[in-house]
Chain A
Amino acid sequence: MSAQAQEEQQEGNQEEQKQIEIPDDTPVDLKAEYEASHVQEVLDKLNEDLVGLKPIKTRIAEIASLLLVERVRKKMHLSAETPTLHMCFTGNPGTGKTTVALRMAEILHRLEYIREGHLVAVTRDDLVGQYIGHTAPKTREVIKKAMGGVLFIDEAYYLYRPENERDYGQEAIEILLQIMENNRDDLVVILAGYKDKMDRFFQSNPGMRSRIAHHLDFPDYSADELLAIGKLLLAQQNYRLSSDGEKALTDYIKKRMQQPHFSNARSIRNALDRARLRQANRLFATGKGLSKIDLMTIEAEDILASRVFEGEEDEG
Chain B
Amino acid sequence: MMTNHGNRITQGQFSFLPDLTDEQITAQIKYALKNGWAVNVEYTDDPHPRNTYWEMYGMPMFDLKDPAGILMEINDCRKAFPNHYIRVTAFDSTRGVESPKMSYIVNRPKDEPGFGLMRQETNGRSMHYTIVPYATQKPEGERYT
Contact = CB atoms under 8 A, between A and B. Distances in A.
Interface of A: 1-2, 5-6, 9, 115-116, 118, 137, 140-141, 143-145, 147-149, 183, 185-187
Interface of B: 19-22, 58-59, 61, 63-70, 72-73
B20 A144 contact: no
14 contacts: A1-B20, A1-B21, A6-B21, A9-B21, A141-B59, A143-B69, A144-B61, A144-B69, A144-B70, A149-B65, A149-B66, A183-B68, A183-B72, A185-B68
A9 B24 CA distance: 14
A207 to B, nearest CB: 21
B69 A145 contact: yes
What secondary structure prevails in chain A residues at the interface with B?
loop
B22 A147 contact: no
Nearest to A3: B78
Given A137-B59, A144-B61, A183-B72, A1 B66 contact: no
What secondary structure prevails in chain B residues at the interface with A?
loop
A250 to B, nearest CB: 44
Contact of B22 (A1, A115, A141): A1
Contacts of A115: 66, 68
Contacts of B58: 137, 140
A234 B13 CA distance: 56
A144 B22 contact: no
A2 B21 CA distance: 8
Given A144-B64, A145-B63, 19 more contacts: A1-B20, A1-B22, A2-B19, A6-B21, A115-B68, A140-B58, A144-B69, A144-B72, A145-B64, A147-B64, A147-B72, A148-B65, A148-B67, A148-B68, A149-B65, A149-B66, A183-B72, A185-B68, A186-B69
Contacts of A144: 61, 64, 69-70, 72-73
Nearest to A2: B19
Given A137-B58, A137-B59, A183-B72, A145 B22 contact: no
A226 B72 CA distance: 45
Contacts of B68: 115, 147-148, 183, 185-187
Nearest to A114: B66
A140 B19 CA distance: 27
Contacts of B73: 144
B128 to A, nearest CB: 40
Contacts of A116: 65-66
Contacts of A143: 69
Contacts of B65: 116, 118, 145, 147-149
